[in-house]
Structure 1
Amino acid sequence: MKKIYKSLVFTMATIALTSCVNDWLDLTPSDSIPSNSAITNYNDAKTALYGMYDGLQGNSTYTQYYAARMFYYGDVRGDDMQARTQGMRSSSCYEMKYTIDDAPNMWNVQYNVLRRANRLIEAVENNKITDAEKNQANVNNIYAQAKSVRALVHFDLVKVYGMPYSFDYGASMGVPIVTTPIDPLNASAIPGRNTVAEVYAQIVKDLTEAIDSKALNVSKSAGDNQGFIDEWAAKALLTRVYIYMGKNQEALDIAKNIIENSPYSLWTKAQYANAWDKNNANHINEMIFELVNSGSDDWADREGIAYLYHEDGYADAICTKSFVDMLAQDPSDVRLDVILPVQLKTDDSGKPTDMYKTYGDNRIFINKFPMGSLGDMRLNNLPILRLSEVYLNAAEAAAKLNDKASTVKYLNEIIKNRTDDTKQLVTESTATLERVLLERRKELVGEGQRFFDAMRNNETITRYTNEDEKGWHYSINKESQVFDRSYFRAILPIPVSETNANPILKAQQNPGY
């Protein structure tokens, strides 16, 4: 077994932030010294910046964020992916039979990242960086990135622990807004919950301030700021936020700006399957923001999403039969090429393996984290924002605005770059919201979005309704077979460790727990 992998080293770091400094690798880790003395100069700020991005994956203690759980939480809770069988790492999220005592948890790691972002923000705002004037543009850029990451984490938190904005226009309980560097392990220090609307207001405030400051780098070529949030990434995230809020005109306007002015381009049909390999020359064309794994000691190792989704890993989660059947209706769709059938078909004695006996030649494994030229699926980067999603955000927003021409324009750009079947292209009469959302499912499967998309659009998730329709699903509780956002387990409970230590949060626990 290889050593576990660590994503602290971003290969673009010195290009994006400085032309001559690599010594941050030798500095004291930014979370190991008190916050009032941790960030006092530009090098400290850079070290803290890398620590903030590293926290988005997680660390050896908190393994519950983008390294794995944020992806499979959004995938297997929907209808397009499932845990392969009981006892998998994704099984609890899939089965949805947890209680307050054993529910999946992302709370602590997300608030830990907020602390890292807030420490950076505080250091800049309180003039703690003594050599800021000599590095003003870079310090301002770090500050804007920290605000963008703070927005991303609050956004993820409120999606997981609060009702969708569209449920009651944000009137229900969201999560505590934290804009100062409190200790996330001290539950009593975390304030009470803000409303969903208040959380979204903070998210939009942070993103718009970061963008309007003009301090974020603006990539002239795709991949210029790989691994860091630049202006295009902040704008792409804002389109997603506005889509969730139902602010469709705002989402459409920003998406249009990205599509027309950014250096990113959609993968073509010929490029699509191989472009997921991060060493492929076309990989960066669509990747507006991804978390970079550039070392051979990434802590996520076999707990990371690549290992969980790969047959040669844990084969933890697979596509559902209903999704595979739906996608296979168009045999020329290149997205079929990133869903693989079982490769190990026979054992050493020549007999069919149990997995092959179950699934045959059906495509089941998501291959968006391929072995490829890397030789190890665990070294893949983690996609957070792609240009394809921006096109789909534009199409969805346009459909909800009844802007048929724009819906056709943006949706067909996706379709024509994914299939040779011209009959799949839409016209103004067929460019419905349902068609947009179907294309979204096809494009973003395995990227942690389906469940959240269904909840914000008030869709019903249907795994199976009777034994004859089970497909590859294993038996789960009746209430988790078919549900919508009124099902109390559609949002997680605040962790019991938090409510036990904080009476304010205890009184604000999500209903049903």
Structure 2
Amino acid sequence: MKNIFKTVILVFGVLLFNSCEDELEKLPNDSVTPETFYQTQADFESAMRGVYSGFLNGSYYGGSFLSLPDIMTSNVIISPQGRLSNQVFFEWRHAPNLSWNFMYPPYVVINRSNLILENINNLPDGPDKTNIIGEAKAARALAMFDLVRVFSEIPTQSSGASQSLGMPIITTTDPTVQIPRPSVDECYTFIINELEEAKGLVNSDNGSGRINKNTVRALLSRAYLYNGNDLEAINAANEVTASIASLSTFPGVWTDSSEDGVIFKINQDRILDGVSIGVQWSQSNAGNVVPEYVMSYELFNLYGNDDIRKTSGAYTQIQSDQAGNLYNTITKMFGEPGQNNGVVDAKIIRAAEVYLNKAEAHANRSEWVEALQALDMVRSNRYTGFVSGGETGPALLEAIKLERRLELFAEGHRFFDLKRWNEPVVRSATDGDFFDGSGTPAPANYLTLPAGNYKFQMPIPQSEINVYPGLEQNPGY
């Protein structure tokens, strides 16, 4: 595990530390250490900013974590006109030596949270201290949850998933720690316990871009749903007080003109930070789009002509490249007003997802009236002139799954949803990358990823196993 912690140092509140065997004996005069830094409320506030900045890593919510879960499904199709970035994942050719470099950033967030929690008693007891503990525990739980989503089975995925390999639970800052992989069940127990504890500690309002009570309740609705605890998912969702973004405000959410319905996001400064989340999908050149991935023709047609996500251009627009080819481009992460640089805040959880979590959990319990009510709260804020379909039974569950696909597109959900439902990825053999379904289809060898295939779990990077041979590789690799 030392490779994960190899660059952790403390600079302006962004906490990292070095795990090399031969450490320098002397520190620069302007450096700080945990022993000298964690002394005041301001120190801990800076440290928490370091925790949040860790989520914006390019392999995490600053990029790949919001794109790869769609790239690996039928939601998007690769464009030959682009750079062919992430093609190895689009074609499910990931392997230990050709892997998603995702172990590092969540463990950095975890380590920064651990540093805070190890030193928190330097603060006097009181509401400020309690709130910091709650934020750190919730951030650590979220990072752990994301790790197990990527590298481990999801409890509802199969009958034996709960006892399969989870990810090491690290609650120390010791860079030499080597912890074997626990079970998935142990990981989810840790995640849920951390969130439940954080719920009673964190403030109701910490300002934009920070974890608060609504954040923790919303994350609990997600974690309980993944764990198959439907009643607890419903109870957690019912505690969330945030409302779904309305028809009028919803388009502005994706240009950071509105925070309506956003429960937790990581704020960034367009000039100072400039994390280009949207370049995972396309770039711009002389007023024309340079597509990397575009919305699949199949998914484009699932959005109705009364759907604000389509009609407003919030999620997709028909745009051309320099050659005049037209695409259903992904505009959801295109940029702030007047920008096409892909720099926007990373949205981690929204009220619409919480209602969809609640709808699915009710449907799993055959509580069809309540499930429809929760689903229609989302649909009534997405379709002009909405009239409920009145679905019930299996048809209602399918409607919930469809709405989840439509609503959470390009937010890092689709691959994990198929995985936890134990459903396959199925791509069209004929639809190409152009706006009308013509163009270049997906390669014939990469049309179907069967349900339960081992490639639904990402491989542990070989570089991590090289420094910790006891870190067991996922089956199949």
TM-score range, shorter-chain basis?
0.7 to 0.9
CA deviation string 1:2-40 (max 9, x = no partner): xxxxxxxxxxxxxxxxxxxxxxx9946433644444423
1:294-373 correspondence to structure 2 within 5 Å: 294-298=269-273, 300=275, 304-312=276-284, 315-327=291-303, 330-336=304-310, 337=312, 338-344=314-320, 347=322, 353-356=323-326, 359=327, 364-373=328-337
Give the secondary structure class of the aligned counterpart of 2:196: helix
Amino acid paired to 1:386 = R
Q: Deviations over 1:154-212 (max 9, x none)?
A: 100001110111122411001111111233xx6xx331111111000000010001112
Give the whole-Å Cα distance in 2 for the aligned partners of 1:419 and 1:467. 29
Q: 1:493 to 1:428 in 2, by over 3 A?
A: closer
State the 1:340 CA deviation: 3.2
Note the alpha carbon deviations across 1:480-507, whole angstroms, 9 max, x for none: 42123422221111111111111211xx
CA distance in 2, matches of 1:87, 1:425: 42
Corresponding position of 1:171: 163
**1:162 alignment counterpart:** 152
Q: Which of 414-423 and 30-39 deviates more?
A: 30-39
Matched, 1:481 2:447: yes
Contact conserved, 2:113 with 2:137, CA < 8 A, in 1? yes
| Counterpart-to-counterpart distance in 2, 1:141 and 1:486 | 41
Normalized against structure 1, the TM-score is what?
A: 0.80
8 Å Cα contact 1:90-1:316 kept in structure 2:
no
Query: How does the TM-score come out when normalised to structure 2?
Result: 0.86
The unaligned stretches of length 5 or more in structure 1 are 1-24, 348-352
Instruction: State the 1:440 CA deviation.
Output: 0.5
Deviation at 1:121, TM superposition (A): 1.1
Tell me if structure 1 keeps the 8 A contact 2:134–2:198. yes
1:288/1:387 contact within 8 Å kept: yes
More displaced stretch, 73-82 vs 265-274: 265-274
5 Å matches for 1:182-193?
Answer: 182-183=174-175, 189-193=177-181
Name the SS for the 1:284 alignment partner.
coil
Question: Compared with structure 1, are the counterparts of its residues 38 and 190 closer, same or farther at alpha carbon in structure 2 (3 Å cutoff)?
Answer: farther
Aligned to 1:56: 55
8 Å contact 1:144–1:210 — kept in the other structure? yes
1:68 aligns with 2:63: yes
Q: Residue in 2 aligned with 1:251? A: 233
Distance 1:51 1:355 in 2: 43
Structure 1 or 2: more helix by fraction: 1
- Structure 2 counterparts to residues 96-495 of structure 1, below 5 A: 96-124=92-120, 127=121, 129=122, 131-133=123-125, 136-166=126-156, 167=158, 168-183=160-175, 189-212=177-200, 215-219=201-205, 225-258=207-240, 262=241, 264-278=242-256, 280=257, 283-298=258-273, 300=275, 304-312=276-284, 315-327=291-303, 330-336=304-310, 337=312, 338-344=314-320, 347=322, 353-356=323-326, 359=327, 364-373=328-337, 375-423=339-387, 425-428=389-392, 432-464=396-428, 466-467=429-430, 471=437, 474-476=441-443, 478=445, 480-495=446-461
- Tell me, in whole angstroms, the C-alpha distance in 1 between the residues paired with 2:417 and 2:319: 31
Aligned letter for 2:353? E
Structure 1 contact 307–315 (Cα < 8 Å) conserved: no
Distance 1:28 1:266, change over 3 A: closer
CA distance in 2, matches of 1:75, 1:468: 17
CA RMSD between the two structures: 2.4
2:13–2:47 contact (8 Å) kept in structure 1: no
Q: How much identity, in percent, do the aligned residues show?
A: 26
Q: CA deviation at 1:153?
A: 0.6
Give me the whole-angstrom Cα distance separating, in 1, the residues matched to 2:444 and 2:229.
Answer: 36
* 1:90–1:218 distance in 2 versus 1, CA, 3 Å: same
Question: Are the aligned partners of 1:308 and 1:314 in contact in 2 as well (CA < 8 Å)?
Answer: no
Unpaired runs of 5+ residues, structure 2, are 1-9, 18-31
Q: What's the CA shift string for 1:440-487, capped at 9, x where partnerless?
A: 1111111110110110011111013x4578956644362x42123422
Distance in 2 between residues matched to 1:371 and 1:486, nearest whole Å: 36
Contact 1:334–1:419, Cα closer than 8 Å, also in 2: yes
379-388 vs 37-46, greater mean Cα deviation: 37-46
Equivalent AA in structure 1 for residue 300 of structure 2: V
Q: Say which SS state the counterpart of residue 182 (structure 1) adopts.
A: coil
Compute the displacement of 1:354 (Å): 4.9
1:311 to partner: Cα distance: 4.7
Match of 2:7 in 1: none
* CA distance, structure 2, for counterparts of residue 91 and residue 315 of structure 1: 13
Is 2:66 aligned against 1:88? Answer: no
Counterpart position of 2:28: none
Measure, in 1, the Cα distance between the counterparts of 2:431 and 2:441: 12
Query: SS of the residue aligned with 1:298?
Result: coil
